[in-house]
Structure 1
């Protein structure tokens, strides 16, 4: 073996992937030539192919697309959207604004879907061991709170008494379950969690967009960590739209509060530096 061949092999082995095969004049994703995918496969189907390795069925693609549409935007009151708009008023570019915004989609703002899947799957595992759904959900919630605290991810909303996106997404799951396209197990778990939260709190703590998309992602078999990535993918559309709108509107150095509004200062009273 020549020294050149050895170096070529070392270079080829530096990165290993099953996602893309590419050489001059050829591009294949998981074996599919790109020219056969273009014009035949939708974006949601491409997301599935790239993350799961196979093309989805029409039913699977439709449910995934529903989650991507549902989580696109929630206005400038959402930190990610506000950050994108503020970045544009600081003279940033669209890509800088998008990166700044996506970087804050973390455990609290953006991570609830991943956490909800973890909760649902823990409860589903308990179901397989036996027990009624109400019993198992109660045990699952108790175990979750013991490990993670009182917040149950995917339920309740600080702005919407009822998140208008959640019932629609669950209805799509119900329809798919009736057709035998998904099991409906996770929709049942989510509804029982919702029922028990209301019974405990004495008021509705309804399913929100994170909990509803988590139902679909779980029904479709997505690993929990991918749920956060899918949320980022969806919300990036709204982030782009708001960043572009802000660029078109103009404005300079817009912070989180309107001009003339000041924060609540709670430090030391006015004082002077002593000469001693």
Structure 2
């Protein structure tokens, strides 16, 4: 095959390459950038960043009510203090000499099932309950059946409910209120908010201390109401938390600390291994 020949044995390699990297998301040629069919210059200055996220992930432009609800979830999840593992890691990484992008990558990689995955898990739970309701099961019964099954499979920690730091998460109520407003406007159905509240009521039943919904549960309501897949609940959370990670990494970069550890040097750790011993003692 010559350097200028794009075919061999009946195979069009240029077309093969084009098909291999096919995408519905973006079309680029010299002097042209179209995102989901829209010229980029028509989007700049008109779409908000939440609108752009929606367009990229969903292929169309959200309504104003949908955009406001998505933006609220993004704003609420940006940061939760330097003790949050992802934030702490960004600070430690910068003090070890990593640039901002390295610190952000290190921090984002911690957002897995335990730290960062609760939103996805909550959406999955909500959807299972909705499936039972669609089959004719009453809401309260469906909530109990699915919560019991989740606890048997995964343990007692229910994603989206309770918080190790906040007796009442200050973000959850506001987000749920906005979801209710969107439902009243007809922008969402409100069914996932009802499901989440049914779980909250179930967890409070027979307890002296309730287990209220936290931000992961409230944002899961929003993402489910807006029609995002469970995996995207985690992905969008990563987009939001990346802002806090960047902010803390940037602040840390101006402090001049080197090799920042997980706790001040003045605070000792506790050693629990064997007492001092020597190789000669065992010979």
- Whether the TM-score (by the shorter chain) exceeds 0.5 is yes
Task: Decide which of 85, 88, 99 is 1:79's aligned counterpart.
Answer: 85
The question of 1:53 aligning with 2:55 is answered no
Question: RMSD value over aligned CA atoms?
Answer: 1.4
Match of 1:265 in 2: 271
Normalising by the residue count of structure 2, what TM-score does the alignment of the two structures yield?
0.94
**Cα distance in structure 2, aligned partners of 1:245 and 1:81:** 11
Offset at residue 260 of structure 1 (A): 2.2
Greater Cα offset, 195-204 or 183-192:
195-204
Match of 1:198 in 2: 204
Task: Decide which of 253, 259, 275 is 1:253's aligned counterpart.
Answer: 259
Match of 1:209 in 2: 215
Match of 1:151 in 2: 157
Greater Cα offset, 11-20 or 97-106:
11-20
**Cα distance in structure 2, aligned partners of 1:126 and 1:141:** 12
**Cα distance in structure 2, aligned partners of 1:140 and 1:12:** 45
The question of 1:183 aligning with 2:185 is answered no
Offset at residue 10 of structure 1 (A): 2.7
Task: Decide which of 23, 43, 47 is 1:41's aligned counterpart.
Answer: 47
Gaps of 5+ in 2: none
The total of aligned residue pairs comes to 276
**Cα distance in structure 1, aligned partners of 2:129 and 2:211:** 19
Q: Which runs of 4+ in 1 moved over 4 A?
A: none
SS of the residue corresponding to residue 112 of structure 2 reads coil
Offset at residue 248 of structure 1 (A): 1.4
The question of 1:115 aligning with 2:121 is answered yes
**Cα distance in structure 2, aligned partners of 1:123 and 1:10:** 44
Match of 2:172 in 1: 166
Offset at residue 9 of structure 1 (A): 1.9
Gaps of 5+ in 1: none
Offset at residue 200 of structure 1 (A): 4.4
**Cα distance in structure 1, aligned partners of 2:13 and 2:176:** 54
**Cα distance in structure 2, aligned partners of 1:131 and 1:255:** 52
Match of 1:94 in 2: 100
Normalising by the residue count of structure 1, what TM-score does the alignment of the two structures yield?
0.97
The question of 1:222 aligning with 2:228 is answered yes
**Cα distance in structure 2, aligned partners of 1:41 and 1:180:** 22
The question of 1:3 aligning with 2:35 is answered no
Encode CA deviations 1:144-172: one digit per residue, 9 max, x unaligned: 11222221100010000000000000000
Match of 1:103 in 2: 109
**Cα distance in structure 2, aligned partners of 1:176 and 1:170:** 10
Task: Decide which of 13, 19, 23 is 2:25's aligned counterpart.
Answer: 19
**Cα distance in structure 2, aligned partners of 1:227 and 1:243:** 24
**Cα distance in structure 2, aligned partners of 1:135 and 1:98:** 43
**Cα distance in structure 2, aligned partners of 1:11 and 1:142:** 49
